[in-house]
Amino acid sequence: MIHLHDICYLRLGCQDLDQMVDFATRILGLELRERTDTHAYLRGDDSTYNLCYIQGDADYDASAFQLRTLDQLDDAERQLSAEGFAVHRGTPAECEERHVEAFIGFTDRNDNRLELVYRHHRTGVRYFPARDAGITEFGHFGLHSRDIERDLSFWTAFMDARISDRIGEGALLRIDEVHHKIALFPSEKSGIQHVNFQVAGIDDVMRSWYFLKENDIPIVFGPGRHPTSTAMFIYFMGPDNRVYEYSAGVKRITDEGAYTPRQFEMKPSSFCMWGARPNVEEFSE
Ligand SMILES: [Fe+2]
Protein backbone atom coordinates (compact mmCIF):
# COMPACT_ATOMS: atom_id res chain seq x y z
CA MET A 1 0.00 0.00 0.00
CA ILE A 2 1.25 3.46 -0.90
CA HIS A 3 1.15 6.00 1.93
CA LEU A 4 0.09 9.46 0.78
CA HIS A 5 1.47 12.07 3.16
CA ASP A 6 -0.33 15.10 1.73
CA ILE A 7 -1.50 16.77 -1.44
CA CYS A 8 1.31 18.70 -3.07
CA TYR A 9 0.58 20.62 -6.28
CA LEU A 10 -1.52 20.75 -9.41
CA ARG A 11 -0.17 21.29 -12.90
CA LEU A 12 -2.80 23.02 -15.01
CA GLY A 13 -2.46 23.59 -18.74
CA CYS A 14 -3.88 26.80 -20.14
CA GLN A 15 -4.18 28.70 -23.40
CA ASP A 16 -3.37 32.12 -22.00
CA LEU A 17 -0.81 32.19 -19.21
CA ASP A 18 -1.10 35.96 -18.68
CA GLN A 19 -4.84 35.60 -18.17
CA MET A 20 -4.38 32.84 -15.62
CA VAL A 21 -1.73 34.78 -13.69
CA ASP A 22 -4.08 37.76 -13.59
CA PHE A 23 -6.95 35.60 -12.33
CA ALA A 24 -4.85 33.70 -9.80
CA THR A 25 -3.32 36.83 -8.29
CA ARG A 26 -5.97 39.55 -8.63
CA ILE A 27 -9.04 37.36 -8.08
CA LEU A 28 -8.09 34.08 -6.41
CA GLY A 29 -5.59 35.72 -4.08
CA LEU A 30 -2.51 33.61 -4.69
CA GLU A 31 1.06 34.85 -4.72
CA LEU A 32 2.98 34.67 -7.97
CA ARG A 33 6.25 33.18 -6.84
CA GLU A 34 7.94 32.53 -10.16
CA ARG A 35 7.21 33.11 -13.82
CA THR A 36 8.88 31.88 -17.00
CA ASP A 37 7.74 32.15 -20.61
CA THR A 38 5.72 28.98 -20.24
CA HIS A 39 5.18 28.36 -16.51
CA ALA A 40 3.67 30.36 -13.65
CA TYR A 41 4.08 29.11 -10.08
CA LEU A 42 1.49 30.33 -7.58
CA ARG A 43 1.02 29.62 -3.92
CA GLY A 44 -1.35 30.01 -1.00
CA ASP A 45 1.15 28.89 1.63
CA ASP A 46 4.90 28.90 2.26
CA SER A 47 5.77 26.24 -0.31
CA THR A 48 7.30 27.18 -3.64
CA TYR A 49 3.89 26.68 -5.28
CA ASN A 50 0.55 24.92 -5.12
CA LEU A 51 -0.58 25.59 -8.69
CA CYS A 52 1.62 25.59 -11.76
CA TYR A 53 -0.09 26.95 -14.87
CA ILE A 54 1.55 25.83 -18.07
CA GLN A 55 1.08 27.59 -21.39
CA GLY A 56 -0.11 25.17 -24.06
CA ASP A 57 -2.60 22.33 -23.96
CA ALA A 58 -5.56 23.57 -21.91
CA ASP A 59 -6.74 19.98 -21.41
CA TYR A 60 -3.53 18.95 -19.67
CA ASP A 61 -3.58 18.56 -15.91
CA ALA A 62 -1.78 16.53 -13.28
CA SER A 63 -2.14 16.24 -9.53
CA ALA A 64 0.66 15.46 -7.12
CA PHE A 65 0.96 13.94 -3.66
CA GLN A 66 3.87 14.03 -1.28
CA LEU A 67 5.41 10.87 0.06
CA ARG A 68 7.50 10.98 3.20
CA THR A 69 10.67 9.12 2.26
CA LEU A 70 12.66 8.15 -0.80
CA ASP A 71 12.17 4.50 0.17
CA GLN A 72 8.42 5.02 -0.03
CA LEU A 73 8.81 6.57 -3.48
CA ASP A 74 10.94 3.64 -4.65
CA ASP A 75 8.38 1.23 -3.17
CA ALA A 76 5.54 3.05 -4.88
CA GLU A 77 7.38 2.81 -8.20
CA ARG A 78 7.75 -0.95 -7.74
CA GLN A 79 4.14 -1.46 -6.65
CA LEU A 80 2.70 0.59 -9.49
CA SER A 81 4.88 -1.15 -12.06
CA ALA A 82 3.83 -4.55 -10.68
CA GLU A 83 0.19 -3.51 -11.10
CA GLY A 84 0.85 -2.77 -14.76
CA PHE A 85 1.04 1.03 -14.61
CA ALA A 86 3.58 2.65 -16.90
CA VAL A 87 5.63 4.58 -14.36
CA HIS A 88 7.94 7.39 -15.38
CA ARG A 89 10.78 8.43 -13.08
CA GLY A 90 11.27 12.17 -13.25
CA THR A 91 14.48 13.33 -14.94
CA PRO A 92 16.61 16.01 -13.24
CA ALA A 93 15.15 18.63 -15.60
CA GLU A 94 11.60 17.50 -14.83
CA CYS A 95 12.34 17.59 -11.10
CA GLU A 96 13.72 21.10 -11.47
CA GLU A 97 10.60 22.16 -13.33
CA ARG A 98 8.47 20.83 -10.45
CA HIS A 99 10.72 22.12 -7.66
CA VAL A 100 11.07 18.66 -6.14
CA GLU A 101 13.98 16.35 -5.41
CA ALA A 102 12.37 13.28 -6.95
CA PHE A 103 9.05 12.16 -8.39
CA ILE A 104 7.32 9.45 -10.36
CA GLY A 105 4.48 10.02 -12.78
CA PHE A 106 1.82 7.67 -14.10
CA THR A 107 -1.72 7.67 -15.43
CA ASP A 108 -4.43 5.98 -13.40
CA ARG A 109 -7.25 3.82 -14.78
CA ASN A 110 -9.36 6.93 -15.28
CA ASP A 111 -6.62 8.58 -17.37
CA ASN A 112 -5.88 10.99 -14.52
CA ARG A 113 -2.23 12.04 -14.53
CA LEU A 114 -0.81 11.57 -11.05
CA GLU A 115 2.59 12.33 -9.61
CA LEU A 116 4.12 11.09 -6.38
CA VAL A 117 6.69 13.47 -5.02
CA TYR A 118 9.61 13.39 -2.61
CA ARG A 119 10.84 16.66 -1.07
CA HIS A 120 8.74 19.37 -2.60
CA HIS A 121 10.65 22.60 -2.07
CA ARG A 122 9.52 25.05 0.58
CA THR A 123 10.60 28.62 1.13
CA GLY A 124 11.73 30.50 4.19
CA VAL A 125 9.53 33.41 3.19
CA ARG A 126 5.93 33.66 4.26
CA TYR A 127 3.08 33.69 1.76
CA PHE A 128 2.21 37.25 0.82
CA PRO A 129 -0.85 37.37 -1.40
CA ALA A 130 -1.71 39.87 -4.06
CA ARG A 131 -5.28 39.94 -2.70
CA ASP A 132 -6.19 39.09 0.88
CA ALA A 133 -8.71 36.33 0.31
CA GLY A 134 -7.92 34.85 3.73
CA ILE A 135 -6.32 31.73 2.24
CA THR A 136 -4.77 29.48 4.87
CA GLU A 137 -3.84 26.45 2.79
CA PHE A 138 -4.21 24.47 -0.41
CA GLY A 139 -7.22 22.43 0.68
CA HIS A 140 -8.19 19.66 -1.70
CA PHE A 141 -9.15 18.88 -5.26
CA GLY A 142 -11.78 16.90 -7.11
CA LEU A 143 -11.04 14.21 -9.64
CA HIS A 144 -13.36 12.88 -12.28
CA SER A 145 -14.14 9.18 -12.19
CA ARG A 146 -15.82 7.14 -14.92
CA ASP A 147 -15.94 4.12 -12.63
CA ILE A 148 -16.22 5.03 -8.98
CA GLU A 149 -15.87 1.53 -7.54
CA ARG A 150 -12.76 0.84 -9.61
CA ASP A 151 -11.21 4.15 -8.62
CA LEU A 152 -12.23 3.79 -4.97
CA SER A 153 -10.46 0.47 -4.91
CA PHE A 154 -7.34 2.17 -6.32
CA TRP A 155 -7.41 5.03 -3.82
CA THR A 156 -8.36 3.05 -0.73
CA ALA A 157 -6.80 -0.38 -1.25
CA PHE A 158 -3.74 0.40 -3.36
CA MET A 159 -3.22 3.89 -1.95
CA ASP A 160 -4.09 4.49 1.69
CA ALA A 161 -6.89 7.06 1.32
CA ARG A 162 -9.99 6.46 3.45
CA ILE A 163 -13.62 7.16 2.61
CA SER A 164 -15.03 9.89 4.84
CA ASP A 165 -18.46 10.20 3.25
CA ARG A 166 -20.30 9.37 0.08
CA ILE A 167 -23.03 11.34 -1.65
CA GLY A 168 -24.78 9.06 -4.07
CA GLU A 169 -21.88 7.37 -5.86
CA GLY A 170 -19.46 10.24 -5.23
CA ALA A 171 -16.84 9.85 -2.53
CA LEU A 172 -14.91 12.21 -0.25
CA LEU A 173 -11.55 10.77 0.71
CA ARG A 174 -9.10 11.72 3.44
CA ILE A 175 -5.41 11.03 3.67
CA ASP A 176 -4.94 12.70 7.05
CA GLU A 177 -7.29 14.20 9.64
CA VAL A 178 -8.90 16.62 7.21
CA HIS A 179 -12.33 15.32 6.16
CA HIS A 180 -11.32 15.18 2.51
CA LYS A 181 -8.38 16.07 0.35
CA ILE A 182 -9.61 14.14 -2.68
CA ALA A 183 -13.16 14.14 -3.99
CA LEU A 184 -14.15 11.58 -6.61
CA PHE A 185 -17.00 12.65 -8.86
CA PRO A 186 -18.93 10.29 -11.14
CA SER A 187 -18.30 11.65 -14.60
CA GLU A 188 -17.49 10.72 -18.17
CA LYS A 189 -14.39 12.90 -17.98
CA SER A 190 -10.91 12.52 -16.59
CA GLY A 191 -8.66 14.91 -14.72
CA ILE A 192 -9.17 17.60 -12.15
CA GLN A 193 -12.74 18.55 -11.36
CA HIS A 194 -12.28 21.48 -8.97
CA VAL A 195 -9.55 23.22 -6.99
CA ASN A 196 -10.02 24.21 -3.35
CA PHE A 197 -8.23 26.65 -1.10
CA GLN A 198 -9.15 26.85 2.57
CA VAL A 199 -9.82 30.31 3.98
CA ALA A 200 -9.78 31.37 7.61
CA GLY A 201 -13.49 31.69 8.24
CA ILE A 202 -17.02 32.45 7.10
CA ASP A 203 -16.18 36.15 6.87
CA ASP A 204 -13.64 35.34 4.15
CA VAL A 205 -16.14 33.18 2.26
CA MET A 206 -18.76 35.91 2.34
CA ARG A 207 -16.30 38.72 1.61
CA SER A 208 -15.16 36.82 -1.46
CA TRP A 209 -18.74 36.21 -2.55
CA TYR A 210 -19.29 39.98 -2.83
CA PHE A 211 -15.84 40.50 -4.34
CA LEU A 212 -16.35 37.83 -6.98
CA LYS A 213 -19.75 39.21 -7.95
CA GLU A 214 -18.36 42.73 -8.23
CA ASN A 215 -15.67 41.40 -10.53
CA ASP A 216 -18.15 39.50 -12.72
CA ILE A 217 -16.73 36.11 -11.81
CA PRO A 218 -19.39 33.45 -12.41
CA ILE A 219 -20.52 31.95 -9.09
CA VAL A 220 -21.39 28.33 -9.65
CA PHE A 221 -22.47 27.23 -6.16
CA GLY A 222 -22.93 28.93 -2.83
CA PRO A 223 -22.38 30.46 -0.49
CA GLY A 224 -23.44 27.33 1.32
CA ARG A 225 -22.45 24.69 3.82
CA HIS A 226 -21.65 21.05 3.16
CA PRO A 227 -23.40 18.73 5.62
CA THR A 228 -20.66 16.16 4.96
CA SER A 229 -17.50 18.09 5.86
CA THR A 230 -19.35 20.97 7.64
CA ALA A 231 -17.30 23.36 5.48
CA MET A 232 -18.85 26.64 4.37
CA PHE A 233 -18.09 27.19 0.71
CA ILE A 234 -18.33 29.20 -2.43
CA TYR A 235 -17.49 27.84 -5.88
CA PHE A 236 -16.71 29.97 -8.89
CA MET A 237 -15.47 29.63 -12.43
CA GLY A 238 -12.02 30.63 -13.63
CA PRO A 239 -11.26 31.89 -17.14
CA ASP A 240 -9.82 28.44 -17.81
CA ASN A 241 -13.31 26.97 -17.27
CA ARG A 242 -12.09 25.21 -14.17
CA VAL A 243 -14.07 25.42 -10.96
CA TYR A 244 -12.34 27.00 -7.95
CA GLU A 245 -13.56 26.91 -4.37
CA TYR A 246 -12.95 28.67 -1.10
CA SER A 247 -14.09 26.90 2.02
CA ALA A 248 -13.76 27.26 5.77
CA GLY A 249 -14.46 25.05 8.74
CA VAL A 250 -13.76 21.62 7.32
CA LYS A 251 -14.27 18.83 9.82
CA ARG A 252 -11.29 16.88 11.12
CA ILE A 253 -11.54 13.18 11.81
CA THR A 254 -9.24 12.63 14.75
CA ASP A 255 -10.31 9.16 15.83
CA GLU A 256 -9.77 6.87 12.85
CA GLY A 257 -10.98 3.81 14.73
CA ALA A 258 -14.27 5.37 15.76
CA TYR A 259 -15.22 6.82 12.40
CA THR A 260 -17.62 5.09 10.03
CA PRO A 261 -18.15 6.50 6.52
CA ARG A 262 -21.63 7.86 5.98
CA GLN A 263 -23.81 7.53 2.91
CA PHE A 264 -25.68 10.72 2.03
CA GLU A 265 -28.70 10.58 -0.22
CA MET A 266 -28.33 11.98 -3.72
CA LYS A 267 -30.32 15.15 -3.09
CA PRO A 268 -29.37 18.85 -3.17
CA SER A 269 -29.55 19.02 0.62
CA SER A 270 -26.65 16.58 0.80
CA PHE A 271 -24.48 19.15 -0.99
CA CYS A 272 -25.71 22.25 0.83
CA MET A 273 -27.59 22.25 4.13
CA TRP A 274 -28.51 25.92 3.71
CA GLY A 275 -30.41 25.34 0.46
CA ALA A 276 -27.96 26.67 -2.15
CA ARG A 277 -28.28 25.04 -5.55
CA PRO A 278 -25.44 24.65 -8.04
CA ASN A 279 -25.64 26.57 -11.28
CA VAL A 280 -23.92 23.82 -13.20
CA GLU A 281 -24.30 20.14 -12.57
CA GLU A 282 -20.88 18.68 -12.87
CA PHE A 283 -18.96 20.17 -10.00
CA SER A 284 -21.20 19.96 -6.96
CA GLU A 285 -19.78 18.28 -3.91
FE1 LIG B 1 -14.43 21.00 -2.63
State the distance from the centre of ligand 1 to the C-alpha of 129, rounded, in angstroms: 21
> How remote is the CA of residue 196 from the centroid of ligand 1, in Å?
6
Q: For the chain, which residues score pLDDT lower than 70?
A: 280-285
Least Cα distance to 98 among 39, 139, 143, 44 occurs for: 39
Paired with 30 in beta bridges are: none
How many angstroms is it from 182 CA to the middle of ligand 1? Answer: 8
Sign of torsion over alpha carbons 26, 11, 173, 276: positive
CA of 167 to the centre of ligand 1 (A): 13
Task: Determine the distance separating the centroid of ligand 1 and the alpha carbon of 98, expressed in angstroms.
Answer: 24
CA of 216 to the centre of ligand 1 (A): 21
Alpha helices in 168-262 (DSSP H): 202-214
CA of 246 to the centre of ligand 1 (A): 8
| Separation CA 4–CA 72 (nearest Å) | 9
CA 243 to ligand 1 centroid distance, Å: 9
**Gap from CA of 62 to ligand 1 centroid (Å):** 17
82 C-alpha to ligand 1 centroid (Å): 32
Alpha carbon of 194 to ligand 1 centroid (Å)? 7
Query: Cα of 180 to ligand 1 centre, how many Å?
Result: 8
| Number of Cβ atoms within 10 Å of the Cβ of 178 | 20
Ligand 1 geometric centre to CA of 230 (Å):
11
pLDDT at 285: 46
Helices (H) and strands (E) in the chain, counts: 6, 17
Q: How far is the CA of 229 from the centre of ligand 1 (A)?
A: 9
pLDDT at 284: 46
Domains, in order of start, for the chain: 6-120 (3.10.180.10), 135-271 (3.10.180.10)
CA of 13 to the centre of ligand 1 (A): 20
pLDDT at site 108: 97
pTM of the model: 0.96
Q: State whether residue 170 is helix, strand or coil.
A: strand
